[in-house]
Amino acid sequence: MLTLKCPFTGAMLDETELHCGGEAHRKRFGPGSSDEDFETYMFVRENRKGVHFELWLHAYGIGKWFIAARDTETLEVYGTYPAQTTEPPQDIKDAITAKRPGWSWREFE
Amino acid sequence: MKHYSAFAVAREALRYHTGWERAWRSPEPKKRYDVIIVGAGGHGLATAYYLGKNYGIQNVAIIEKGWLGGGNTGRNTTIIRSNYLQDPSAALYEKARGLYEDLSQELNYNIMFSPRGVMMLAQTQHEIRGYQRTAHANALQGVKTEWIEPERVKELVPIINIDGPRYPVLGALWQERGGTARHDAVAWGYARACSAMGMDIIQKCEVTGVRSENGRVVGVDTTKGAIDCEKLGIVVAGHSGQLAEMAGFRLPLESVALQALVSEPIKPCMDVVVMANTVHGYMSQSDKGEMVIGGGTDGFNNFTQRGSFHHIEETVRALVETFPMISRLKMLRQWGGIVDMTGDRSPILSTTPLGNCFINCGWGTGGFKAIPGSGWGMAQLMATGHSPLTEAFTMDRFKEGRFIDESVAAGVAH
């Protein structure tokens, strides 16, 4: 079972308290955008075997969204951070690089 | 290939079973093939089989990273049905169900197709309306299903509790010719038939790259060296994203774990397949007597073939309420498989941005039932460039907004 640390309160959260909100760091495209951009936003997913960023909601708790940096091949959690950001903090990037040198994710690495 | 028959069993019994030959060859790869299929699961092998049988394309290699039928083909709960709402889905799944009917005879391999009937319980008013609508749609599509009342449900499944406190059974969508089949045997039967046609099934050989020239595929790099090909079919389920990346395009897929479990064997008590989508569980009894149980997918991306325990708990909790007599059953085994889910919960059978490269993926939680139909359509697509079975399932339907929305129709597991 997945256990994630809440970046706001520091509490260790059980998967049953949480709701997964899917891939994080997606760039939003709305009306007026090209078909390609809208398709990418709505449907195309990174779906990496390895480093993965995803949104989680502390549904049965404080009700806040945060992002978990995980590894989909080993189920290791690299860290969690608040969702109000476009890139993970440097210490989480460093933790990922230590395990997965050369990783990248859409616009950052 | 020696023919399997009652006579062959008697003949071999007389000579201490020394005359059986291997069901398929395990050759080293040749330098070049007309068609390479990546993935020796049910869908990949069926594609190769119908390429050979329907189109005479027999210079084919099927390349498999692990072992034949060792992915989701060997991990599913073996349910076969075609009671889908949307026309393209119903056509594809009904084609598959129809082919299953005499597949054992065609392949000369007992796939143990058991059309015992599939029942999808309606446990809310919403589901009653949904399934009655599906039953009407199926009537127009030529798929034989019917809406049945709770009394008939109880008659068909005596062990069911139809007036549970939270989710009473209000009726069901019943497909009499749905059922189950032996999942491994489907892969083995197709593999044996492919091998007999001279196709090469190359196991323990991982594809590490896709080679292309001028926008067309020319071959693949593998752990057993480079192999040239005219056409390439990618049929790798959960790992489709990795292969697509090698081929230079991206897919609207996410890979998640789906778990299943079986109980200890008990005496025959339920001779139909029951699916309960509101409470999220489905169950059938295998020929050995084990109750085969499945539920919903885990909620997050995962490539480990392991799932979270609480999902099993939810499934079992729902089934215990529906079938009170299973509350003391011990569970023998639990396992997980990686399923590739699309946005509309329908598969992708499509040409790709790379010329002569085709993809068959996105079957999500319900690929086993479709194996023969998927192979039939995919072979037609690869051989002729067009198939009426697959034309609605192209990968650009997401860009064009032409969804085949079975997630709305099915709610969950399908």
Give the up-direction half-sphere exposure of residue B264: CA atoms within 13 A in the CB hemisphere. Answer: 6
Task: Report the candidate in B268, B303, B274 with the shortest Cα–Cα distance to residue B286.
Answer: B268
Alpha helices in A1-109 (DSSP H): 35-42, 90-99
- Residue A106 pLDDT greater than 90, yes or no: no
Classify domain B22-82+84-94+184-252+350-410 at the CATH class level.
alpha beta
Chain A CB contacts of B299 under 8 Å are 15, 19-20
Chain B CB contacts of A48 under 8 Å are 241
Would you say B371 and B391 are in contact if contact means Cβ atoms under 8 Å apart?
no
Chain B CB contacts of A2 under 8 Å are 300, 308
Chain A touched by B255 (CB under 8 Å): yes
What pLDDT sits at residue B408? 56
Indicate yes or no: CB of A49 within 8 angstroms of CB of B303: yes
Report which DSSP code applies to B337.
Answer: E
CA B189, distance to chain mean position in Å, is: 15
Backbone angles phi, psi at B399, to 5 degrees: -65, -35
CA A22, distance to chain mean position in Å, is: 8
Indicate yes or no: CB of A72 within 8 angstroms of CB of B310: no
Residues 6+ apart with CB under 8 A from B242: A49, B236
Residues 6+ apart with CB under 8 A from B299: A15, A19, A20, B256
Shortest Cα–Cα distance, B244 to chain A (Å): 11
Burial per residue of A47-86, b for 16 or more beta-carbon CB atoms within 10 angstroms, e otherwise: bbbbbbbbbbbbeeeeeeebbbbbbbeeeeebbbbebeee
Would you say B390 and B329 are in contact if contact means Cβ atoms under 8 Å apart?
no
Indicate yes or no: CB of B308 within 8 angstroms of CB of A35: no
- The closest CB to that of A39, out of B301, B309, B398, belongs to B398
Structural domains in chain A, sorted by start: 3-99 (3.30.2270.10)
Indicate yes or no: CB of B399 within 8 angstroms of CB of A52: no
CA B52, distance to chain mean position in Å, is: 21
Indicate yes or no: CB of A49 within 8 angstroms of CB of B239: yes
In the three-class reduction of DSSP (H, G, I as helix; E, B as strand; rest coil), residue B299 is classed as: strand
Longest dimension (CA), chain A: 42
- Residue extent(s) of CATH 3.50.50.60 domains in chain B: 22-82+84-94+184-252+350-410
Indicate yes or no: CB of B399 within 8 angstroms of CB of A19: no
What pLDDT sits at residue B94? 96
Gap between the Cα atoms of B46 and B190, Å rounded: 6
Indicate yes or no: CB of B251 within 8 angstroms of CB of A1: no
What pLDDT sits at residue A88? 93
Alpha helices in B220-370 (DSSP H): 240-247, 309-322
A39-73 residue pLDDT tens:
999 999 999 999 999 999 999 999 999 999 999 99
Chain A residue nearest residue B241, CA to CA: A47
B12-60 residue pLDDT tens:
999 999 999 999 999 999 999 999 999 999 999 999 999 999 999 999 9
Shortest Cα–Cα distance, A72 to chain B (Å): 5
CATH ID of B118-182+255-342, from 1.10.3720.10, 3.40.640.10, 2.30.30.60, 3.30.9.10: 3.30.9.10
Question: What's the Cα-to-Cα distance from A96 to each of A93, B207, B242, B255, rounded to whole Å?
Answer: 5, 26, 20, 21
Task: Report the candidate in B369, B378, B384, B372 with the shortest Cα–Cα distance to residue B348.
Answer: B378
Which pTM value belongs to this model?
A: 0.94
Chain A CB contacts of B241 under 8 Å are 45, 47-49
Neighbours of B7 (CB within 10 A): 9
Shortest Cα–Cα distance, A97 to chain B (Å): 20
Chain B CB contacts of A73 under 8 Å are 303-304
Report which DSSP code applies to B312.
Answer: H
Chain A residue nearest residue B305, CA to CA: A73
Those residues of chain B that have pLDDT short of 50 are 409, 411-414
Alpha helices in B252-296 (DSSP H): none
What are the counts of helices (DSSP H) followed by strands (DSSP E) for chain A? 2, 6
Indicate yes or no: CB of A75 within 8 angstroms of CB of B239: no
Q: Is the ipTM of this complex over 0.85?
A: yes
- Residue extent(s) of CATH 3.30.9.10 domains in chain B: 118-182+255-342
Would you say B195 and B1 are in contact if contact means Cβ atoms under 8 Å apart?
yes
In the three-class reduction of DSSP (H, G, I as helix; E, B as strand; rest coil), residue B373 is classed as: helix
What pLDDT sits at residue B413? 46
Q: In this structure, what token pair is assigned to residue A76? A: 């290791």
What are the counts of helices (DSSP H) followed by strands (DSSP E) for chain B? 12, 18
- The closest CB to that of B304, out of A1, A48, A73, belongs to A73
Chain A CB contacts of B398 under 8 Å are 39, 42-44
Longest dimension (CA), chain B: 64
Gap between the Cα atoms of B395 and B340, Å rounded: 14
Query: Tokens 């079992």 map to which residue?
Result: B316
Report which DSSP code applies to B12.
Answer: H
Gap between the Cα atoms of B92 and B185, Å rounded: 21
Indicate yes or no: CB of B252 within 8 angstroms of CB of A45: yes
Would you say B381 and B375 are in contact if contact means Cβ atoms under 8 Å apart?
no
Optimal mutation site among B236, B251, B301, interface A, most CBs of chain A within 10 A:
B301
Mean pLDDT of chain A: 93
B336 by Cβ neighbours in 10 Å (0-12 / 13-18 / 19+) ranks as buried
- The closest CB to that of B252, out of A1, A2, A43, belongs to A43
